[in-house]
Amino acid sequence: MRLVLVDNEHHIAEAHRRALCTVRPEWKVVLASSAEAALRALEAEPTDVFIAELGKPPADGAALFEMVRDRWPATVRIALSEFAEKSVAVRLERSVHRFLHKPCDTYMLAMLIERSSTLRDIVSDPAVLAAIGGLQCIPRPPVTVQALEKVLADPDAGVIAVAAVVGRDASLTARILRVVNSSFFGVGRQVTRVDAAVNFMGVSLVRAITLADGATRSFTVTPDALDLDEWNQHAVRVAATARDITRAMCPNDRALADEAFLAGLLHDVGQVVLAGVAPSVWKEIERQATTELLPVNEIEVRQGRVSHSLVGAYLLSLWGLPSSVVEAVAFHHTPERLAGHMFDAAVAVHVADALTLRPQSRPAPALHMESVLGAGITEEHLQAWRARFNAFENAA
């Protein structure tokens, strides 16, 4: 694997290079001290991973990442910085796969490089493309999603601006009001106005619901292929459970809780894609799963098919969602395929999906205990969460 590492402080870049080569001796790490030198290094040979410190002002670093994205879209891009303003962070979200705060642990950096490379290989796998061969073109994010992203790019945008975008979409408005008034949020009173719902839920969760709503409306799915009402209910349950698990494990990381919620809402979006593109295939998978009382992911493995998890990750990667969310969707049934053990959105969704109640004909997928325990979740955690979530849903 070839990496280009950019930092205008040579001693810091050299320290990273030595440390990475110690952890992964087979990697070739090329140092560059400026944007011009970095571009020359990228032009010289194919590069797997591009890592750069944002510098000051950070907007200059963001411009470099945009250039690398446009010229070498297949290269994994990782940004390092001590801080970033909201406007810069929004720009980075469109051009960077991973964002790490400095100082960062070398082992963590190496692990994220491996994870990002694995994800890149999966979303460009010809088998995934073949699985959705009936899709004439990948649908663009719906107009409401695009309008909301434009509003969120403005660092001065507030609740009123977000509510104005949502309020122009009747279906999305109904869904957000339905979710905020559900038992998962415990508002304690009936919320009937969009601005009040946005204020209570927060912009991040509203964005998550907007993306999920857009994904389900991008495909024509008949009820006999997939029950979208049941699908939506399960998605909200998993999202809320993943958020609560993340809050318990990382109480001070609001961003990770929001990320887990978004990944939970979208974790099965590949089912919607397959039910819309190949309904007869998906109906047969559902039929066997129901008849044999097995999770659909086990039927997919047995049939040697590309999983709905990878199909969903492929769509979301094209829509430009953060790599950590795409990764959580891709590996929510197989967290063992990710490098290293850590608590992240993928593990949160994996556990939430297994703990969420289903109809008796829909058994939950199995937990991969080595990954779960390796992330710091204990048997006691699982027992307590299972009891609490089951009691909560039975009372709902």
What is the average pLDDT value for the chain, to the nearest integer? 81
Residue 313's SS3 state is helix
Band of residue 378 on the pLDDT scale cut at 50, 70, 90: very high
Judge whether 196 lies within some domain. Answer: no
Residue 358 has pLDDT above 80, yes or no: no
- The more confident residue out of 229 and 125 is 229
Rounded distance between C-alpha atoms, residue 212 and residue 163, angstroms: 17
Tell whether the model's pLDDT for residue 260 goes beyond 70: yes
Tell me if 179 is assigned to some domain.
no
Asked if residue 180 belongs to a domain, the reply is no
In Å, how far from its chain's centre is CA 213? Answer: 15
Give the domain extent around 323. 131-142+218-395
Compute the average pLDDT of residues 276-295.
89
Task: Answer yes or no: are the C-beta atoms of 94 and 272 closer than 8 Å.
Answer: no
Q: What is the pLDDT of residue 296?
A: 92
- Average pLDDT for 145-151: 77
Does 167 reside within a domain?
no
Average pLDDT over residues 230-255: 89
Q: What is the CATH number of the domain that holds 261?
A: 1.10.3210.10
pTM score: 0.69
The dihedral region occupied by 125, where left means phi > 0, alpha psi between -120 and 50, and beta the remainder, is beta
How far apart, in whole angstroms, are the C-alpha atoms of residue 392 and residue 6? 50
- Residue 135 shares a structural domain with residue 95: no
Structure tokens, 248 = 């318990």
Instruction: Tell me, letter by letter, the H, E, C secondary structure of 143-205.
Output: HHHHHHHHHHCCCCCCHHHHHHHHHCCHHHHHHHHHHHCCCCCCCCCCCCCHHHHHHHHCHHH
Confidence check: pLDDT of 133 > 60: no
Query: According to the model, what pLDDT value does residue 284 have?
Result: 93
